[in-house]
A = this chain, B = another copy of it.
Amino acid sequence: MDKEKSFKKLKVGILGATGTVGQKFIVLLQNHPWFEISALAASKESAGKTYEEAVKGRWKQEVDIPESIRGIVIQDASKPNLKCDFVFSGLDAGVAGEIEKAFAAAGYGVISNTKNYRTEQDVPLMVPEVNPDHASIIPFQQKRRKWTGFIVTNPNCVVVPLVMALKPVMDKFGVSKIMLTSMQAISGAGYPGVPSLDILDNVIPMIGGEEPKVEWEPLKLLGDVKKDGFKLANIKISAQCNRVPTKDGHFLTVAFSTRKPAKVGEIKRLIKNFKGEPQKMKLPSAPQKPLFYHEDEYRPQTRLDRDREGGMSVSVGRLREDAVLDFKMVVLGHNTIRGAAGAAILNAELLHKKGYLKAR
């Protein structure tokens, strides 16, 4: 870390800092070139404790708590007065609605991983490679809600790799139908999350509340932004979401139909060459290849490919024609990185570059 430059870094607060997503924010923001953590907030139970005390027995990352974070005293997330320029939210949906609103009203940019505001007509649901233009709704949001801050959300952890893999196809050929089956990792349920007795040597055919999100969120992401809201994309989506015994990485089989005729070779080429705004802007967390196409038909595999480019690159493979819809393929994304904390950080980087997030 460069001492000389660090004074320019934006100060960041983490809402829900002790939870699984909050922990991931802390790990991923270590040594971030633009942002530095200056405040941590969580529930009243944790407030007043040092971070180290608060997560004792609950820190589940493969790396230690960063030295600089251990001693930070946690603040009560329900009070929107953290010393920072903007906040990341990894709050539980049960409390996120009120708290995120309070922070936005108090002038903070709230970069949220939580579902509460994803469906609102004036809140961007954004993946920087897919719909960076949706940030343009922010002024409307601020005016309508009389907020000096704002809320920007990222989608569900299955939706991120899904829309990323389909984005180049969508742009060139249009997509009319999508049918997907997910095999989702246990980390998607947080901690303690899935009991081991439920998942060892098992597949569970249901993840509460997941399928509606996976069937709706892509419509907003792949739709258009208007001055005062969004126009949903016209796509039929069917999702079947399952839990399997893997630690990280949501694996999808995806079949889809295009609006214009396409060929396997063309789509592969589009996927291989795909670059989005983050790549053009060289955002710090942007992977070089947001989509990595595997020619080996035994890839991608959850364990071997989830960590590609620090977990920010989505893997695609086995693209081929389909007997029922037009094409089918497999897609893999790291659920807690590309599908959660990393997604939010990339959103913040984009928003900073676009001028929405600055020092207060």
Chain A residues within CB distance 8 Å of chain B: 56-57, 60-62, 177-179, 181, 183, 186-187, 191-206, 215, 236-238, 240, 242, 244-247, 249, 251, 253, 255, 296-304, 307, 317-318, 322-325, 328, 330
Contacts and interface: CB of A to CB of B under 8 A. Distances in A.
* Residue among A193, A203, A253 with the highest chain B CB neighbour number at 10 A: A203
27 contacts: A57-B296, A60-B197, A177-B324, A179-B179, A179-B325, A186-B196, A187-B197, A191-B195, A191-B197, A192-B192, A193-B196, A195-B195, A195-B196, A200-B201, A200-B247, A202-B303, A203-B246, A205-B253, A205-B297, A205-B301, A205-B330, A236-B323, A236-B324, A237-B324, A238-B325, A240-B255, A245-B246
A166 to B, nearest CB: 14
Contacts of A297: 205-206
Given A193-B196, A244-B244, A202 B236 contact: no
Given A179-B324, A205-B298, 6 more contacts: A57-B298, A183-B183, A186-B197, A191-B195, A205-B251, A236-B324
A61 to B, nearest CB: 8
A318 B187 CA distance: 24
A192 B57 CA distance: 17
* Residue among A183, A301, A330 with the highest chain B CB neighbour number at 10 A: A301
A253 B241 CA distance: 9
Contacts of A245: 196, 200-201, 244-246
Given A191-B197, A201-B303, A304-B62, A244 B324 contact: no
Contact of A199 (B196, B240, B296, B317): B196
B192 A195 contact: yes
Contacts of A200: 186, 196, 199-201, 245-247, 303
A208 to B, nearest CB: 9
B196 A298 contact: no
A299 B205 contact: yes
Contacts of A299: 205
* Residue among A194, A195, A247, A318 with the highest chain B CB neighbour number at 10 A: A195
A318 B201 contact: no
A247 B197 contact: yes
A177 B325 CA distance: 10
Contacts of A56: 296
Contacts of A206: 297-298, 318
B244 A322 contact: no
A177 B322 CA distance: 12
A292 to B, nearest CB: 9
A251 B203 contact: yes
A195 B197 contact: no
Contact of A201 (B61, B201, B236): B201
Contacts of A187: 197
A19 to B, nearest CB: 12
Nearest to A250: B203
A181 B240 contact: yes
A194 B191 contact: no
Given A178-B324, A200-B196, A244 B301 contact: no
